[in-house]
Amino acid sequence: MAKFRVVTTKATTVSTGLGGYHHEMEALEPLGAEIVECAPTEAAFIEAARTADAVYAKGMKFTSQVINALDKCRVISLGSVGVDTVDVGAATAKGIPVTNCPDTFIEEVADHAMMLLLATHRRAIEQDQMVREGRWAEGRPQLLQIPRLMGQTLGFIAFGRVARATAHRAKAFGLRIIAHDPYIDERTIANEGAEPVSLSEVLARSDYISMHMPATPEAQSFLKEKHFKQMKKSAIFINTGRGPTVHEAGLIKALQEGWIAGAGLDVLEIEPVKPDNPLLKMKNVILSPHNASASARFDPARKRRVGQEIANVLSGRWPQSCVNPTVLSETGLKRWQPISMDRGPNS
């Protein structure tokens, strides 16, 4: 019989990894832990997870009803950056740490953000279509209307890890960087080579605006119609963060009425995108299916991180990444202790 029981849901989509849970079990197997699957419904999960030592959160919404039914759960772990599928407030009230993977896919998402910026700026999709449709002569005149990238301004709304990595890439193209983030002090922003500014300055000054806000309750529909009206008519909007941080109807109106020039979107308000979404028919919009973090290392890296975080807690230690750290002091878990490099030969 297993010493620890980790409950998760059965996969509802085709896995991009190698299948099974061998990546997670690299850290869990030595502890005598097992991973148990159940149907991805609230009722089935509540029934299966009442005696779970840990929850591997994927495949469904983890509501307050689900979390309140957990009688002995010590940690809820996600293999993603976003934690919007878990009611973190309910977990905090229950005294359960919630972990995520905030630093696993930074480089991939930053690459994707730059790809969307460059592709929208140089009208990559339209240029490709012109060639395929025999409209070769139309390509050059279109780009003659587009300003040179070097010297233009890229503004960030939120300036966390991914935004900073994107900024480093953008500097190589000669872009000026400005950023707004009320949760990061101005010196930190300046040390990253960006000018700290207000939200209104980002909107008014930027030629490209990159959105990186997480999907918190406070960020729901943060960017509204009034904000798009403040942007330059030549501005391009990029979003590789979370779709619900933008009031999509306002963005659509801004694109339809020419308040801004275009958009590159990896995330949408409703996913998968509905077939009648006007964004699908806009030539000045480039879309990708919320896959900015994907690469060959995507599944192995995040799965190993989930296994390690659960193993940390089940071993009595703090997790590496906790989105509700106020609960840790009440869990009895021990802080990570740095290994001394000054130990003698007999220590």
Which of the following is catalytic: 47, 186, 257, 271?
Answer: 271
Contact 81, 101 (CB under 8 A): yes
| CA distances in angstroms from 248 to 2, 48, 229, 253, listed in the order given | 47, 37, 14, 9
- How far, in Å, CA of 347 to CA of 335, rounded? 22
Catalytic residue among 74, 169, 242, 304: 242
Decide if 214 contacts 82 (C-beta within 8 A). yes
Print the SS3 string covering 173-225. Answer: CCCEEEEECCCCCHHHHHHCCCEECCHHHHHHHCCEEEECCCCCHHHCCCECH
Whether 290 is catalytic: yes
Q: Please give the CATH number for the structural domain made up of 106-287.
A: 3.40.50.720
pLDDT tens for the chain, 347 residues: list them: 789 999 999 975 444 333 589 999 999 999 999 999 999 999 999 999 999 999 999 999 999 999 999 999 999 999 998 898 999 999 999 999 999 998 889 999 999 999 999 999 999 999 999 999 999 999 999 999 999 999 999 999 999 999 999 999 999 999 999 999 999 999 999 999 999 999 999 999 999 999 999 888 889 999 999 999 999 999 999 999 999 999 999 999 999 999 999 999 999 999 999 999 999 999 999 999 999 999 999 889 999 999 999 999 999 999 999 999 999 999 999 987 654 444 444 43
Which pLDDT score is estimated for 216? 84
Stated length of the chain = 347
- The number of angstroms, rounded, from the C-alpha of 202 to the middle of its chain's C-alpha atoms is 21
Q: Which residues touch 222 (CB under 8 Å, ≥6 apart)? A: 157, 213, 245, 246
Going by C-alpha positions, the residue among 6, 116, 117, 123 that lies closest to residue 53 is 6
CB 68 within 8 A of CB 55: no
CATH superfamily of the 4-103+296-330 domain: NAD(P)-binding Rossmann-like Domain (3.40.50.720)
Q: What are the extents of the domains in the chain?
A: 4-103+296-330, 106-287
Amino acid occupying residue 51: T
**Cα three-residue angle 128-130-132, rounded to 5 degrees:** 70
Q: Give every strand in the sheet of 176-180, ordered side by side.
A: 195-196, 176-180, 153-157, 208-211, 236-239, 262-265, 285-287
Contacts of 339 (CB under 8 A, 6+ apart): none
- Copy the structure tokens of residue 278: 């006007």
- Per DSSP, the three-state class of 282 is coil
pTM, rounded to two decimals: 0.86
End-to-end CA gap in the chain = 37
Residue 280 pLDDT? 98
Q: 3-state DSSP call for residue 45?
A: helix
> Partners of 286 in the beta sheet?
264
- Write down the pLDDT at residue 328: 96
| Cα–Cα distance, 228 to 36 (Å, whole number) | 47
Query: In angstroms, rounded to a whole number, what is the distance separating the alpha carbons of residues 261 and 238?
Result: 11
271 is catalytic: yes
Name residue, tokens 């490209």. Answer: 208
pLDDT of residue 337: 61
Point out the catalytic residue in the list 122, 161, 168, 290: 290
4-103+296-330 and 106-287 agree in CATH topology = yes
